[in-house]
Structure 1
C-alpha cells in the first residue's frame, strides 16, 4: 500500500510543479488605445509581440495579449493602425495604462513619387483587374478566433384573449406565459481554432476546434417546458382523443391533428425515460453538428466580401453605380494607400471608405454601412425590416506576397413584427350534431429587434498543400463549454479579441431571488 501512496504523491507534486512553472512563465498585458488628439478609442489596431504573434484591439480600443514566457529588457509591443504613427512599448515596465497614438500626416509629394497621378476611374479599373491576382485563394491553414453574438429585444409582447371555452386558459394564464418570455435575450459563441482548405468561396474545409464556449440562459428553456407540461395537462382534461384543431389567422387556416400520446395513461409513469432519451439525442446531434455548422459559417463569413461579384458589397464590380472620391492619403504596414470614399449614385445600399495600396491597387481595408433599409416587408399584419448592415474588412500580405484576411466584423439589424387575429377551434367529426368542441380567440401583437454581430480574427495564415489538407483528420465530436455568465478566466492565456461590454456584462439572472 505504501509504494502506491508514494506513487500518487509523486504524481500530485509533479502536477503542482508543472502548473506553477506554467503560470510563472506567462504574463498578460492589457490596455486601451486612444487618439492622442481626440482621446477617441482606436479600433482594429494591430498589437504584435516583437513583430511576431499578436492581437487586434476591439471596437472600444481595448486589447489583451498573453506572452507565454518571462519577458526581458528587449521585449516590446509594436502597435500599428491605419492613419497613426507606429508605437513601440517596452514590456519590462508595462503598467496597463492607456496608450495614446499620434495621427500620422502623409506628405502628398512623397506618395506621388511612388506612382503616377492616376484618376479615380483609372484606380478603380486597376482595383478590379487585381481582384483575382492580389488575393490568395489557395490552400492554407488559418489560425483564428471567431465570435458570433445575437441580441433579441422585444419592444411589444401582447396577447388579448377575446374568447375561451376552456376556463383554465384565461387572460391571466396567457399573461403569465408571456411574462416568462424574456424582454431581452442574447447568446454568444466563441471559437478558437484552425481552419484548413482552399480559401476560395464554397470549397470544402476541415477544422480543429481548440476551445469553444457558448454564453446563454438555459433557464428560459426550463420555464417554457414547465408551461408546456401545464398546458398539456389542461388540454388533456378538456379535449377529446379523436378531435383535431383548426388554426386560423385572418384568411389563412391549417388543420392540426392532436398528438395521441397526450392521452397515454402510462405516460406519467414512463415520462423520464423518453425525456432522457430525447435529451441524449439532442446532445448527440449537437456534438455532430457543431463542427460542420461552425466551419461552414466561418468559411462563408471570411469570403463574404467585395472580391466576389455575387455579393451585395458591389461597389467594385458595379462601380459605375457609385460616386468615388480620393479624400486623403495614409501610411500603413510600410505602404502608402489612397483613402477613397464611396456613396451610391441612386439606389445602391452602401457607403463607406476603402484604403487602396498605391503600388498594386489592392484594397487592404474597407469600412462600410448601409444608407437605406436593405429590405422592408409588410403584408397582412406581418412585417420585417432589415435596417442595419455595417462592418470592417482588413487584409494583410502572407509569405506569398498575396493578401489574406486579417480581420472582419459585421453587424446586422432587423426589426420584425406580427399583429394578427388568431383562432383555434377543436373539432370532432364523431360527435353527433356538434362538430365544434372548444374555441380560443385572440389578437396577438409582437414587435422585436434582432441584432447579430460577428467577428473574425485571423492570427496566422500558413500555406499548405492539397495533400496536407487531405491528410488532416478532424475530431468530429466537439461541443462548446456552456457558460451562464462571462468568465474572464475561460480564455486566460489565449490571445483573442477583447470582448465588448455587452458580452462582459452577460449574466444569467438568479430567478430564485
Structure 2
C-alpha cells in the first residue's frame, strides 16, 4: 500500500504517539474554491473552517478511526462519514440543489415579516440564554497605519526642540503595524454582557517589535532635553486653541531613583511589581470585556445593534431565496434599513423551528462620525457574520462570530506647550513650543470567536467560580506552529502563518 492510499487518519497521527490532529481544507466540488465558515463536528465537538476553508481538529485518546466527521454549510450538501474513509487532506462539498422541500410546501406561506415575528416568538425556546460555561478561542487582529503626519513649527524657545529633532521623532514612528492576540479560555456567564467571568488557559501575542514605537528611547531623548532646559518645579500648560491642560514636570518622568537609597529603591521595586500585577489584571479584564461585548451584541438579544428581529418595521424585508443546511430548509431574508438604522444584510432562518442559524451584516453608514474644531472621527466599517448551531441540549448557541471594524482619526489644530514656574520672579512663562499639526491615522480591527463547547451551569456554579488573573500572553516575533499544539483553535490564515519580524528582539 502506497502513502497516498493510506487513510487521512494514519497520515496525521504519525507514529508512536506523535502529534495527533486532523487537518484538512474544504473546497467547493465544482469551483474548487475554499468554503469558509463550514461547521465541522466530531464526537459532539464543534469547529469552524477559516476564510481559507481550513480546519484542524485535535484528536485525543477517545477518538476512534470509525468515529464520524460531519460537515455542514449553508447552500451545500452535508457530509458525514467515519474518519478512516477520508483518504485525502482535501474535502469536497457539492452545492445543494434547490428543490421544493415538503416542509416549505406544506407550511403556511409566510411573508418575510411573519417569518421574523416567528423567530422573535421562539427565541426563548430555541436559544440557550441561561448560565453556561463555554470553551472558546478568540483571535484579534489589529492593523494600524499613519495616513498623514504634517506639521509646521511656529515657535520654539528651546533650541534642541527644532525641526530636525521633531522630524527625527516622526521618523521613529512606524507607518504601519499588525498585531495579533490569541486567547483560549472558559467563559462563565449568561446573557448579561457585564456579568461574565473568564478563566484564561493560554494566550499569545504575535507582532514585530521593531515596528512598534520605542517609547523608552523616545522618552530618553525628551528627558535629556527637558533636564537641560526645564526647572524641576515647573509645570506645563498644553493648549490647543481654547483647550488647556496642566502637567507637572514630575509627570513627564524626569525624576531618577538613587540606587544607594535603599528605601527609594525598595519603593521603586514595589511599584514595578504592582505595575506587573495591574498589567495581568488589565489583560484579563480587557479580554473578558471584549468577549462580553461580542456576546451582548448577538442579534438574539434586544439591545443588539442588529435589531431586525425586534424592530422589523424599521427595515425593508425581502424573501430572497430558499436554501439548505443538509436536509433542513432555510429561508434567506435580506434586510435594509428604511431610515436611520445602521446595518443591512441577510438572515438565514430554519423553516422548521424558526431559529436564526446565521446572520451576515454590514453597515450602510458610518457608526460614528464627527468633526469639531479640527478633530475628526469616522468609524466607517463594521461587517461580519454570526453563526449559531444546535448543541447537545437541543438548544442553539453561538458557534462563530467574525467582525471587522475600521476607523479613521484626524487632528488638524494648533498646539502649544508652555513651561511655567510660579517660583520664578516676574513672568511665570519660561519656554514655549508652538506647532500647527495636521495628522491622520487609520486602523482596522478584526475579531474571530469560535465556541467549541457549551455546558449549561447553574447560578451557584457561576458564583463559586473565581477568576485567576495571573496569566499574560506569550510574545512571539514569528509564527510558531507548535505554540497551540494540543489545543483546538481556529486555523490561522496564510498571513499569520507567514508572519515574521524584521528584527527578532528579546521579550
TM range (shorter): 0.7 to 0.9
Q: Does 2:493 match 1:493?
A: no
Alignment partners' CA distance in 1, 2:26 and 2:251: 63
Alignment partners' CA distance in 1, 2:285 and 2:253: 36
Contact 1:194–1:207 (8 Å) recurs in 2: yes
Contact 1:244–1:255 (8 Å) recurs in 2: yes
- How many residues are matched? 491
Q: Does 2:29 match 1:44?
A: no
Alignment partners' CA distance in 2, 1:263 and 1:452: 35
Q: Does 2:449 match 1:462?
A: no
TM-superposition CA deviations, 1:69-120 (whole Å, max 9, x none): 4976534532211110123466447566443321101312534235222222
2:376 to 383, 396, 400: 383
Alignment partners' CA distance in 2, 1:130 and 1:364: 13
In the other structure, the counterpart of 1:475 is 468
TM-superposition CA deviations, 1:193-219 (whole Å, max 9, x none): 22223x222463333322221224455
In the other structure, the counterpart of 1:101 is 93
Contact 1:351–1:370 (8 Å) recurs in 2: yes
In the other structure, the counterpart of 2:107 is 115
Alignment partners' CA distance in 1, 2:253 and 2:344: 56
In the other structure, the counterpart of 1:402 is 395
Q: Does 2:247 match 1:226?
A: no
Alignment partners' CA distance in 1, 2:101 and 2:205: 52
Alignment partners' CA distance in 2, 1:472 and 1:246: 48
- CA shift in 2, pair 1:82/1:23, >3 Å: farther
Alignment partners' CA distance in 2, 1:147 and 1:98: 25
In the other structure, the counterpart of 1:207 is 198
Alignment partners' CA distance in 1, 2:252 and 2:454: 54
Alignment partners' CA distance in 1, 2:444 and 2:256: 45
In the other structure, the counterpart of 1:325 is 318
SS in 2 for 1:126: helix
SS in 2 for 1:169: coil
Q: CA deviation at 1:245?
A: 1.9
In the other structure, the counterpart of 2:177 is 185
Alignment partners' CA distance in 1, 2:175 and 2:265: 31
Alignment partners' CA distance in 2, 1:307 and 1:117: 24
SS in 2 for 1:259: helix
- CA shift in 2, pair 1:346/1:226, >3 Å: same
Alignment partners' CA distance in 2, 1:135 and 1:410: 21
1:157 to 146, 149, 168: 149
SS in 2 for 1:207: strand
In the other structure, the counterpart of 2:167 is 175
Alignment partners' CA distance in 1, 2:492 and 2:305: 28
SS in 1 for 2:97: coil
TM-superposition CA deviations, 1:210-267 (whole Å, max 9, x none): 2221224455678221221221121111122333222221222233332289675865
SS in 2 for 1:24: coil
In the other structure, the counterpart of 2:60 is 68
Q: CA deviation at 1:386?
A: 0.7
In the other structure, the counterpart of 1:290 is 283
TM-superposition CA deviations, 1:135-160 (whole Å, max 9, x none): 11112221111122222111112333
In the other structure, the counterpart of 2:501 is 508
- CA shift in 2, pair 1:481/1:420, >3 Å: same
SS in 2 for 1:133: helix
In the other structure, the counterpart of 2:118 is 126
- CA shift in 2, pair 1:383/1:347, >3 Å: same
TM-superposition CA deviations, 1:336-382 (whole Å, max 9, x none): 21111111223322111111111221111111111222222111111
SS in 1 for 2:485: coil
- CA shift in 2, pair 1:23/1:438, >3 Å: farther
Alignment partners' CA distance in 2, 1:96 and 1:182: 44
Q: CA deviation at 1:170?
A: 1.4
Alignment partners' CA distance in 2, 1:358 and 1:123: 9
Q: CA deviation at 1:35?
A: 2.0
Alignment partners' CA distance in 1, 2:375 and 2:266: 40
In the other structure, the counterpart of 2:226 is 235
Q: CA deviation at 1:334?
A: 4.6
Normalising by structure 1, we get a TM-score of 0.87
Q: Does 2:130 match 1:138?
A: yes
In the other structure, the counterpart of 1:257 is 248
- CA shift in 2, pair 1:231/1:269, >3 Å: farther
Alignment partners' CA distance in 2, 1:273 and 1:181: 34
Alignment partners' CA distance in 2, 1:345 and 1:368: 16
2:406 to 399, 408, 413: 413
Alignment partners' CA distance in 2, 1:335 and 1:70: 30
In the other structure, the counterpart of 2:238 is 247
Structure 1: state its 5+ residue gaps.
1-19
Contact 2:44–2:392 (8 Å) recurs in 1: no
In the other structure, the counterpart of 2:442 is 449
Contact 2:113–2:312 (8 Å) recurs in 1: no
Alignment partners' CA distance in 2, 1:263 and 1:315: 55
Q: Which shows bigger deviation, 492-501 or 90-99?
A: 90-99
TM-superposition CA deviations, 1:43-71 (whole Å, max 9, x none): 1101223x532421012212122223497
1:356 to 329, 349, 354: 349
Q: CA deviation at 1:442?
A: 1.3
Q: CA deviation at 1:464?
A: 2.2
Q: Does 2:80 match 1:80?
A: no
